[in-house]
Amino acid sequence: MLLEALIALATVLPRLDAGLEAVRARHAALEAPALRSSLGAEPPPPALPYFSATARAVSNWRDEAGAALLPASLALVVKYAATDPGFVARCVKLNNYWCIKQARWRGELGGDGEGHTGFATAADGANAAAILLQRYYREFGRRTALAIVRRWARLSARREGA
């Protein structure tokens, strides 16, 4: 019975994603004019993101994840949940979907106690990941995903003292 429920959900959820995307677009279209008319002018610019060491998160992570995560149902839960959902990885809260360590990257705002970088936007994190992958390819001759992971794992083990 559980298997049947999972199969049914897997069949229905992709269809829901298209509907959720339409709801998102309509909500954004309705929200912008209402905000402008209530303020009597253009809305104020969004606040600059900041890193909070106590929360171990970047202030705008919910908006960034809500715009980037798939399926859309998960993105909506992340964006609008009253508390932090338990399924969200810490690097998502840092706008750092690749869990890159600090190295003075463009858009870097700070980092957690283990050295993972908090980025101003998820796009900044993606740019850093692309630069890092290019470096692995060009400077270290790592041509496959397995070779990159092996190098990363070896360096991580050294840092942890193993």
pLDDT digits over 2-53, tens only? 555 555 555 555 555 565 566 566 656 655 565 555 555 666 677 899 999 9
pLDDT tens digits, 42-88: 666 778 999 999 889 999 999 999 888 888 888 888 888 888 888 88
Positions of E strands within 23-128: 51-52, 57-58, 108-111, 117-119
Lowest mean pLDDT among 92-96, 99-103, 144-148, 156-160: 156-160
Q: What are the distances in angstroms from CA 101 to CA 49, 64, 112, 115?
A: 19, 19, 9, 5
Model pLDDT, residue 123: 95
User: Given this model, what pLDDT does residue 12 score?
Assistant: 53
Residue 96 predicted with pLDDT over 90? yes
Cα–Cα dist 15/19, whole Å: 7
pLDDT of residue 131: 93
Q: What is the pLDDT of residue 69?
A: 83
* Percent of the chain at pLDDT exceeding 70: 68
In the chain, where the domains are located: 1-45, 46-159
pLDDT at 150: 85
First to last CA, the chain: 45
Instruction: Kindly report the average pLDDT of the chain as a whole number.
Output: 79
User: Bigger pLDDT: 7 or 125?
Assistant: 125
